[in-house]
Amino acid sequence: MALKTFKPWRIPVISLIIAFLLMIVLAIIYAHVGAVRIPYRDVWAAVTDAKHPSYFIVHQLRLPRILVAILAGFGLAVGGAILQSVIRNPLASPDVIGITKGAGFMAAGVIFLFPKLPSYYLPIAAFIGAFAAFLLLLLLSRRLSLRPSHLALVGIAIGAIFQAGIQYLIVRHPSDINAALLWLSGSLWNRSWNNVYSLLPWIAVLVPIVWANFAKLNVFQLGDEMTAALGVRIGRQRFWLLLLAVALAGISVSAVGAIGFIGLIAPHIARSLIGGRHQWLIPLAALIGADLMLLGDLVGRVIILPREVPVGIMTAVIGTPYFIYLLRRERRR
């Protein structure tokens, strides 16, 4: 009887609800804590009432950071979920395969070489760098005739090349190092509503497009031979899905800097909770990515008040042990 009454959608739905409620709780705590503490009972009034004494702090300083963290968490996590599914490598993520480093290199180039350019050129440069890393990844993988599961190895090499370029720019332009290091470490400091408006349309469009392709992502888990037997054009579909991942990662990195491990950890946590069905995996990974971003920035803001630790450092502290655990697990397999 127990097997007959079990419904397979219950665990995914419960997981989604818990992840969503955790995001709300973290957002409320985020608005509460800081150099200036806002009482919990005043948080909502500080968001909606322009005459409230704490309106500027909450509405103009903390709320944009919350929304940017959530949106960037969505983008990085969903991009990582696509990469892990299409490449069929559990260690694949935007930062591991070099996309984040490509975006960081172009952004650093703008900061060092064209410091007087308007700030809106930085996201454009970051996206171009992410796309360049993606094209280089495809070119090398075809020239070397690599399997999809081996793309992560090529991506690591590409990331190392871009990282060397970043270090070269830092050595050549030491006077501008502070702004570059803040961006390269990944930070939500000084994020405003302009960052929210520049990020929101991309995430609002691309994430639903990815979810609409969940059936193709499910089929890719079966391997190339079975996928081709089911009538899927493997090369074309893999290219477009990877392009979606690059767009999500590039746009997210352009808004928050070179933050790592979110795209690696969030899909893994989601997959361990509900399995590999992408109709559930994609939204759950997005929520977990937002939770990790909020948690990392929240801890970074309060750990050494009144100073801040960039969220990229906090996510690295969280993600490095998990990455080592994944490496050991894959080695045992």
Q: How far apart are CA 183 and CA 111, in angstroms?
A: 10
pLDDT tens digits, 41-71: 888 888 888 888 888 889 888 999 999 999 9
Which CATH architecture fits 10-332?
Answer: Orthogonal Bundle (1.10)
- What is the reported pLDDT for 63? 93
Q: Write out residues in the chain with pLDDT < 50, as ranges.
A: 1-2
Q: Can you give the C-alpha Rg of the chain in angstroms?
A: 20
- What is the reported pLDDT for 330? 66
Q: Report domain extents, the chain.
A: 10-332
Q: Among the residues of the chain, which ranges form H helices?
A: 2-5, 10-32, 40-48, 55, 63-87, 99-113, 121-143, 151-172, 177-185, 193-212, 214-220, 224-229, 234-256, 262-274, 278-302, 311-332
Q: How far apart are CA 22 and CA 20, in angstroms?
A: 5
Q: Cis peptide before 306, with omega less than 30 degrees from 0? A: yes
Q: What single letter denotes the amino acid at residue 69? A: A
pLDDT tens digits, 132-174: 998 888 888 776 655 665 677 788 888 889 989 888 888 887 7
- What is the reported pLDDT for 1? 44
